[in-house]
Structure 1
Amino acid sequence: MPSSDSNSPEFTRIDWDAEAGGRRRPAARTLAFVLALAAVGALLAYDLLVAPAKTIPPLEWDVRKVGWIVLVSLVVLGRYVLVPLVANRERTARHGRAFLRRPVGVLALAYLVAFAVLGLLGPDVFEFTYAKPAHNLQPPVFGSVNMSVTDSYSCIGPVVDGHCQGTWQYPLGTNYIGENVMEHFISGVHVAFKAGISTAVIMAVVATVVGTTAGYYGGWVDDVLMRYVDVQQTVPAIVVYIVVATLYLGNVENISDGGLFAFVLVFGLLDWGGIARLVRGEAIQRRTAGYVRAARAAGASDLHVIRRHVVPNSTATIVTALTRRIPLLILAQVGLAYLELNRTRPVSLGGVIRFGLRERYMPWHAKWWTTLPAVLILVGLVVAFNVFGDTVRDVLDPREEVR
């Protein structure tokens, strides 16, 4: 390779195979990935054919439609995110040090990790209770409510100057039918996590395949794929979902899982066009890079070049694009749930907000605790994803490494 390439940004991104320890390790990772997918497929077959009405031993899982997509998504993230981070320790350590020098990005990552852990494990860790109508509209801890704003109000905490004080029995209070607000928020975060992670992984896979293929090969392949993207984007995914929800999801039997499952499939398969265009642009730039020409000259196949050089070096673009899309997907699901076009059980954050804004027993602003935490969670998600995406883009940008 000419010496001039040694100072170019792309040179710092070359040869992911060598850093991973040769060709055998990627092959082993691919085998482990296939086995993991086969294990998920075996569990799905067991759930559908052997014991459709029972949980899956030994963990007593009750996995529904979206749950299987979440499991596959976690396997994909493990293979293409966690495993490369562990395998390329030197690169990971270098990027980690650069990331830690950006405290705002660290705070954003901490928020997203807390959101993911709560969304993934919250319903299993917290024991949910039934609604207690006699305990309706209890204020949160360190909060209070004027008992004169509603008739026949029962306060379970201390009363000071006609104001009911909150207790630790309900840290975030209760709603107008006596449901624990904290349990509702955990359920809402769980639904948001499933919707965001499942849809994002589907979008990332489809957009990466289409965008990379179009950009790398060019010509008529590029024309056909990009014209399809143009046609697909003329009909927004939200319009397709509303039609599906109107025709199919009106049945009460489909509330528990069908609404979220349809949301994930519709948005995951129809809302990736913008990301594909960004990936295509990266592939067009990478296909003429020095290390790609060197790999071709050494006899590497197109598939090898795409997998080992083009796609890995487009990571920053893919991650940044997804961090922009995930909060929008969550907000779309919340908005549809608020309009009762995406009914889920457990309830989503949109349902929590709709419940809290109902003016029963007292005005909505007097029972602010039933809606404000959900709004703050959504605002925090949007800010955290944007900050995290910008930080990752800066850290993974090869031009930053050369400075």
Structure 2
Amino acid sequence: MPASDDSSDVSCSSRLQGLLSGFDSDGLPWNTAVFAAATAVFITIYAYDLLVHPPDAPLVASWRPTAVDLLFAISLVGFAVFVVAPLRTDRERTARYWGRLRQNRLAVVSSAYLLVVFVFGTVGPFLFDSAANPTRILQPPVGFSASSYIVSDCVGPTTDLLCHGSFRHPLGTGTYGRDMFTLVVEGMRVTVVIGFVTSMFVVPIATVVGVSAGYLGGWVDTLTMRYVDIQQTLPAFVVYLIAIYVFGRSLFLFLLVFGLLGWGGVARVVRSEVLSLREEPFVTVARSAGVKRWNIVRHHILPHVRETVVVAATRQIPLLVLVEAAISFMNLNDMTLLSWGETIARGTQGAPTVTWWVSTVPVVFLTLTVVALSVFGDALQDVLDA
């Protein structure tokens, strides 16, 4: 027998031995156990506040948890235990990924910007007050000026009937006297919530459906893929438009609709990957040896498709951010939600050419965020495929 065949047999044998050796000790993975426990704790806290705690009293300080807060907290825990913790544990792999990523300077800049968005979007709303101030309406940004006739109580220097920007409001203020910087931070909050919560829906659903269809095949593959075809013929945007007239406008509804209906394309990508993986020699040998399907999927299929589904889900986030901004701009959202789309819509009212900064500032941050997400998604695929 040729030497190459011997090495192939040894490789398959070593893979199979490694697979078999770990079965007796297999149990619930620690990260799954932590995620389940944290989810149970969050649900208990939310249920206590909703059913037991007095409805007119805050739970902590002046804060009461909402359904969106619940989903966001669960998604953050999932990101920590399923993404951050494995990277921290496997230092060698993390260093290899970072070495590939830093070769792309634009991707590094995009990653740094997205980290800032994540930090400010997560803790910023608790640090900065976004309340309206009628005495500070339409203050211009630093380095610019506006007519004193449209500015309420100019806080900067005034010359020749022009109000100049002040560092008290470096990005200016909006039509209700809200500081534009705090509005940008509130928009970051909405963006971060959309990215993490929708991914929390898309990644597990797409993985389960894609792996089941690709590995089991037969009627399972046919049934699931036909359902995906049907689901994709009815866009999530249309479902959202119908749902808001039944349940009302809310970010929670947006997250549910686009999270639960946005996984079809990702599932197809996962299925294609699994179809090729199930014909690999080590999978064929394991099946012939009588290894259970779940053990093969867990130890050899899922580790290979994990990176595929993460990249595919990451590429959906910029689109969802733009969709939310468009929905807000069309006044189809919760108008109390200070997203970038809502701020842009308010900035186009009245005299948008005179108070240009009210719409321009959120447009700039929306554009930077979408571009950064797209660049990072492309770079992530290059890093994981290398």
- Normalised by the length of structure 2, the TM-score is 0.89
Judged with a 3 Å threshold, the aligned counterparts in structure 2 of structure 1 residues 119 and 128 are, in CA distance, closer, same or farther, namely same
The whole-number CA distance in structure 2 between the counterparts of 1:210 and 1:294 is: 24
* Deviating more after overlay: 272-281 vs 337-346: 337-346
Among 101, 109, 112, the alignment partner of 2:111 is 109
The whole-number CA distance in structure 2 between the counterparts of 1:316 and 1:389 is: 12
Q: How many residues align?
A: 378
The whole-number CA distance in structure 2 between the counterparts of 1:241 and 1:2 is: 58
Cα deviation 1:110-160 (Å, max 9, x = unaligned)? 11111111111111121334322x32211011221244xx46864221123
The whole-number CA distance in structure 1 between the counterparts of 2:47 and 2:208 is: 28
Q: Does 1:395 align with 2:383?
A: yes
Cα deviation 1:212-258 (Å, max 9, x = unaligned)? 11011111110000000011111111001001112331xxxxxxxx5
The aligned runs of 1:2-401 (5 Å cut-off) are 3-4=7-8, 27-51=29-53, 53=55, 54-57=57-60, 61-132=63-134, 134-147=135-148, 150=149, 154-249=153-248, 259-296=250-287, 299-359=290-350, 363-397=351-385, 400=386
- Aligned 8 A contact 1:138 1:173 in 2: yes
Judged with a 3 Å threshold, the aligned counterparts in structure 2 of structure 1 residues 170 and 16 are, in CA distance, closer, same or farther, namely farther
The whole-number CA distance in structure 2 between the counterparts of 1:201 and 1:293 is: 32
Judged with a 3 Å threshold, the aligned counterparts in structure 2 of structure 1 residues 64 and 213 are, in CA distance, closer, same or farther, namely same
SS in 1 for 2:29: helix
User: Which amino acid in the other structure matches residue 244 of structure 1?
Assistant: A
Q: CA deviation at 1:172?
A: 1.1
- Aligned 8 A contact 1:212 1:279 in 2: yes
Q: Show structure 2 runs of 5+ residues with no match.
A: none
RMSD: 2.9
Q: CA deviation at 1:31?
A: 2.5
- Aligned 8 A contact 2:138 2:150 in 1: no
- Aligned 8 A contact 1:241 1:263 in 2: yes
The whole-number CA distance in structure 1 between the counterparts of 2:51 and 2:131 is: 32
User: Which amino acid in the other structure matches residue 281 of structure 1?
Assistant: S
Structure of higher RCO (CA pairs closer than 8 Å, 6+ residues apart): 1
* Deviating more after overlay: 94-103 vs 218-227: 94-103
- Aligned 8 A contact 1:215 1:222 in 2: yes
Judged with a 3 Å threshold, the aligned counterparts in structure 2 of structure 1 residues 269 and 119 are, in CA distance, closer, same or farther, namely same
Q: CA deviation at 1:64?
A: 0.2
User: Which amino acid in the other structure matches residue 364 of structure 1?
Assistant: P
User: Which amino acid in the other structure matches residue 31 of structure 2?
Assistant: R
The whole-number CA distance in structure 1 between the counterparts of 2:69 and 2:269 is: 30
- Aligned 8 A contact 1:174 1:370 in 2: yes
The whole-number CA distance in structure 2 between the counterparts of 1:29 and 1:138 is: 49
Q: CA deviation at 1:7?
A: 10
Cα deviation 1:337-359 (Å, max 9, x = unaligned)? 11111114332111100111112
SS in 2 for 1:39: helix
SS in 2 for 1:164: strand
User: Which amino acid in the other structure matches residue 105 of structure 2?
Assistant: P
The whole-number CA distance in structure 1 between the counterparts of 2:65 and 2:231 is: 32
Judged with a 3 Å threshold, the aligned counterparts in structure 2 of structure 1 residues 6 and 350 are, in CA distance, closer, same or farther, namely farther
- Aligned 8 A contact 1:319 1:389 in 2: no
The whole-number CA distance in structure 2 between the counterparts of 1:17 and 1:52 is: 55
Judged with a 3 Å threshold, the aligned counterparts in structure 2 of structure 1 residues 2 and 392 are, in CA distance, closer, same or farther, namely farther
SS in 1 for 2:250: helix
SS in 2 for 1:311: helix
- Aligned 8 A contact 1:319 1:392 in 2: no
The whole-number CA distance in structure 2 between the counterparts of 1:61 and 1:268 is: 26
Q: CA deviation at 1:307?
A: 2.4
The whole-number CA distance in structure 1 between the counterparts of 2:49 and 2:154 is: 46
